[in-house]
Structure 1
């Protein structure tokens, strides 16, 4: 994509505009952190961070299937701001803002300032980015750092200074320590390093020694971060929970290429058809003018498709990895359209510009046709969904348990909002953990007895009730039903009434 000559004044104005857009995004998101729950995964992460903040050791005591930086970042926020959903979500906003800026600078590097500003705006408006940049889930934060790693690798191509490769490796390490999703871009970074040497060393044999040295600079921060993990955490439980659990879950669910492919197509064509149309035009236009840059973006899309298609299970929030390359290509499409309009306006009826311009305008029309629905949807996503049952359950737990009491729940956000702890091994009660055989009714019964649980929450998703019926049977024998909701959610208390409490414990049904 050809970049029109820029004056220093123009660059300063564009840079200030990008700073303003980034700050506006951060300010908006940081003031919209309320609501009960965006996704089930918020509960395990917040509860794990709360327990780590309280002094429990990650992995050796607190169960977590995520790399350590994600939980450590949230626990750090809890140390500064106190344990709360808002503090945890604020951490996500910080990482996501970095991702928004990295996306804009990537588009600017490939297509100029207009491409960068457009990419930032398009990404910020995408409903899934609008949601998951505030939700306490690691996908957007980890891919934000992956985008930053790609940006640093492209800066190395421009300035030929290996410090950019070290920074790229550092950003990649941070992304992988948040979540393993950036593994999608590891091959891309390696190819960028090799392509960076293609001009300086046309002969392949001459290219390998400096390219291998570049890869060492890129990989060294990853090696150092791995050593840090070995020193800071117990290796065996960390490896078992992060890697072993992932392998077991993959074996339990098994990748379904047809189903995953259908999910990907639906996500791209139906849920993000507008930005996809612009991105497709942007990729086509870039191939026509700058094949090397188009190759980088095409490979990013290909590696994302291959990685997600082979993922098991493929949850909807994982598909947000598409948004970063799509926003960059869509931003480049906007820049190309404006450039062609200028050329057509100055040179008259130049059909070499008019034909691709018509294709681009059609892509823009598709996006604009989806924009009202996008804005309307964003307007309905200002706070996480909250139900009357959620609020009642939190109030009920606060009333009938003491702060030091232990609660067992298949929805960790209930005790988290009530400022109660769960047993450290039970921060994660996900379907994935149950289906992979890592959480059984026998284990739940043993931990209920060991930690002397003062309340047991069976929430509306039916994790315990539907998939571990033997545990529900045991609880009904040894505990009494104290709260029942129209959704089917239930709360059980010990048979012996607690001296602590302010709710009418005889009440079994709540509207």
Structure 2
């Protein structure tokens, strides 16, 4: 009997792994994972940080880094195994996306049944830019996938009441926070989720109250594991740099310069992209409130909290949208469940009890959504290199180059060349807020004497600074400039070597 149970358990594990890898294969088949030069400028920043870290440079002390360390560390080890390529890095993010989708389905399946969970999961996969973000070397999807796994582990604890799930959940959320800190707002939500959104303990639990019971209660245990794991990771990677990790995002200079992306305009635009899912989410929210479905409180509060945070935070980038898409599709699952229950004879949400006729709707819906995923192109499809000539020039002089200075580090990564670690993260936020000044840039140029310079993002900003222009004219020769003046390539003069 025990052997049969173990065999069933193994088959279940292999089945779920098969589903995950089918998802990965499907995404690779329908999206330009290998063809696109660059999906977002952040890809170059994450790739070059991982390259520098793998070459022995340390985060925060040598590599300027305004994000937690774990994705950079993981990506560097991933490169050591699978080679230094953009494709390998994107596959890693797709695996995280698969983990997010799997965890999301498992959580909804527990509370709503398989059909609403399946439809809601397909909603999430086809939500605005989800697949685009799932193939971009960015840290949002990895962080959210770990957060969803942490929530699923709490769900497992509720089913089986085994403390190992609570311990794993706290540790996994700590890893999520050390990937990208924007999942921190989920902590109070998850605490209430552990308590099943009850503010008062049952009477029988009060009679057993003692110091040991309090210390080892699921809530306290989860918090302890979360705190210890987070601090432990911070200690290992020296991730206590307030200026880089906090001030670079929330300082007055940073918030003051973020006027380009208007929150009031952007958030409605984001939501409009998935207006049909928002409608289902609204129906689901009403169902939760009127039917007093306690499990639905979690995504409802998540959506309200994330919306309020994004209304306040500046700037609001498009890659923040999954913070809204996940609870919207989660709530849409409740809307789907409500619609299903409106059928005359009801509709059992467990697939085992369905006959063929009742499978027609979910099969057609699934087919339609898959067709839409294939038919609708990735938005955007990915930026091409601003100039193939520049990429070829960088590669041509690669053997005589020790360092390259560029405001678009994807060029450096494709060539396998390091950039000065102090300016590995040369972001719009860092430049406009004054966190990185031209005095500091000149110091870096004098220190490293990079043999090549590629300007392909903030060329007007650089060219408008007389100090920078003077230094470049004295020490470098321009080898290329495109017709529009949007990309330039320079080589260090032999007399300056």
Which of 220, 237, 250 is the aligned partner of 1:247?
250
Q: Which residue of 2 aligns with 1:225?
A: 229
C-alpha contact (below 8 Å) 1:51/1:421 kept by paired residues: yes
1:409 aligns with 2:406: yes
Distance 1:339 1:451 in 2: 67
Q: For 1:478-497, list aligned pairs within 5 A.
A: 478-487=475-484, 488-496=486-494
Q: Secondary structure at the match of 1:41?
A: helix
Q: Which residue of 2 aligns with 1:70?
A: 71
Note closer, same or farther for the CA distance 1:451–1:115 as it changes in structure 2 (3 Å cut): same
Note closer, same or farther for the CA distance 1:497–1:118 as it changes in structure 2 (3 Å cut): farther
Cα distance, 1:42 vs. partner? 0.8
Note closer, same or farther for the CA distance 1:126–1:461 as it changes in structure 2 (3 Å cut): farther
Q: Which residue of 1 aligns with 2:356?
A: none
Cα distance, 1:330 vs. partner? 2.2
C-alpha contact (below 8 Å) 1:401/1:454 kept by paired residues: no
Note closer, same or farther for the CA distance 1:463–1:219 as it changes in structure 2 (3 Å cut): farther
Note closer, same or farther for the CA distance 1:312–1:118 as it changes in structure 2 (3 Å cut): same
- Indicate the larger mover: 52-61 or 256-265: 256-265
Q: Secondary structure at the match of 2:33?
A: coil
C-alpha contact (below 8 Å) 2:132/2:378 kept by paired residues: no
Number of matched residues?
468
Q: Which residue of 2 aligns with 1:385?
A: 383
Q: For 1:170-189, list aligned pairs within 5 A.
A: 170-189=171-190
Cα distance, 1:290 vs. partner? 4.1
Cα distance, 1:306 vs. partner? 2.0
Cα distance, 1:453 vs. partner? 0.9
Cα distance, 1:15 vs. partner? 9.8
1:376 aligns with 2:380: no
Q: Which residue of 2 aligns with 1:325?
A: 327
Any unmatched runs of 5+ in structure 2? 1-9, 349-360
Q: Which residue of 2 aligns with 1:111?
A: 112
Q: Secondary structure at the match of 1:433?
A: helix
Q: Residues 315-353 of structure 1: CA distance to partner in whole angstroms, max 9, x if unpaired?
A: 11112211211222223333332332253699xxxxxxx
Cα distance, 1:482 vs. partner? 1.1
Q: Which residue of 1 aligns with 2:218?
A: 214
Note closer, same or farther for the CA distance 1:312–1:345 as it changes in structure 2 (3 Å cut): closer
Cα distance, 1:440 vs. partner? 0.8
Note closer, same or farther for the CA distance 1:175–1:42 as it changes in structure 2 (3 Å cut): same
Any unmatched runs of 5+ in structure 1? 1-11, 347-360, 362-366, 500-511
1:452 aligns with 2:454: no
1:234 aligns with 2:232: no
Q: For 1:295-310, list aligned pairs within 5 A.
A: 295-310=297-312
Note closer, same or farther for the CA distance 1:127–1:230 as it changes in structure 2 (3 Å cut): closer
TM-score w.r.t. structure 1 length? 0.81
C-alpha contact (below 8 Å) 1:249/1:435 kept by paired residues: no
Q: Secondary structure at the match of 1:341?
A: coil
Note closer, same or farther for the CA distance 1:371–1:412 as it changes in structure 2 (3 Å cut): same
Distance 1:377 1:468 in 2: 43
Distance 1:241 1:122 in 2: 36
Q: Which residue of 2 aligns with 1:162?
A: 163
1:273 aligns with 2:275: yes
Note closer, same or farther for the CA distance 1:15–1:399 as it changes in structure 2 (3 Å cut): closer
Q: Secondary structure at the match of 2:196?
A: helix
Cα distance, 1:51 vs. partner? 0.7
Cα distance, 1:244 vs. partner? 3.0
Q: Residues 83-138 of structure 1: CA distance to partner in whole angstroms, max 9, x if unpaired?
A: 11112212211211111111111211221111222222222222411011111111
1:395 aligns with 2:392: yes
Distance 1:21 1:162 in 2: 28
Q: Which residue of 2 aligns with 1:93?
A: 94
C-alpha contact (below 8 Å) 1:56/1:62 kept by paired residues: yes
TM-score w.r.t. structure 2 length? 0.83
- Aligned-residue Cα RMSD (Å) equals 3.6
Q: Which residue of 1 aligns with 2:103?
A: 102
Distance 2:11 2:280 in 1: 25
